[in-house]
Amino acid sequence: MKYKRILLKLSGEALMGERQYGIDPKILAEYADEIKQIHDKGVEIAIVIGGGNIFRGVAGASNGMDRVQGDYMGMLATVINGMALQGALEDKGMLTRLQTALKIEAIAEPYIKRRAVRHLEKGRIVIFGAGTGNPYFTTDTAAVLRGVEVNADVILKGTRVDGIYDSDPEKNANAVKFDSISFDDVIKKGLNVMDTTAFTLSQENELPIVVFDMNKKGNLMKICEGENVGTVVKI
């Protein structure tokens, strides 16, 4: 396998499937199947999942809610998604640990870097919930931060799109996809891969990012085997 340890970033919206909000158990089961394939090959897996299917702090703030309060609500949404994914993974026979940046000891361990690394070394899948534990930071930033902390080889960002394009492929039928692109070129071209804080943190720590379509079966395995899937952002 090309990568020994990965940080998989999943969007909360992806869990909705065809629904308007919430969690589609069918999507959860499909994701668990994809993750199990690489887990069975010995890949060490850490996961950060968003909360946009339940609550988004920025949206709350735009409707008059206090931004800090809204962001904490969003963090709790990621914990709910983390618990749902944990259940789906364990249904497939995998050992997991949910660690949260906010203390919720009845349902999850507090995030401790050394403990997280030990779980990964023992073959457990570690799900990181509650973002960074701080308002004004996205789950993209949390994903890169945790990826750097646990010495992941790569950030795999699973989305609905099969890579990075020079324009929005959902709006422009002639959009051109990049197989690989440098961090500098992403900035020069003004492409939207992650929020600026997350992207800069990844660049500074020379942690590559692969953007790919998580909903296409087999993609996760292909990436871990070294195939050209999605778009690689590298130094």
pLDDT tens readout for residues 89-125 = 999 999 999 999 999 999 999 999 999 999 999 999 9
From CA 220, how far away is CA 224, in angstroms rounded?
A: 6
From CA 162, how far away is CA 229, in angstroms rounded?
A: 8
Distances (CA, A) of 222 to 33, 47, 122, 217: 14, 18, 24, 10
Main-chain phi, psi angles of 231, to 5 degrees: -130, 130
The strand pairing partners of 212, in sequence order, are: 158
Average per-residue pLDDT in the chain?
Answer: 95
Q: Is 179 annotated as a binding residue?
A: no
In the chain, the domains with their CATH numbers are 5-233 (3.40.1160.10)
Q: Is 138 annotated as a binding residue?
A: yes
Q: What is the pLDDT of residue 42?
A: 98
Q: Is 165 annotated as a binding residue?
A: yes
From CA 29, how far away is CA 32, in angstroms rounded?
A: 5
Q: Is 151 annotated as a binding residue?
A: no
* pTM attached to this predicted model: 0.95
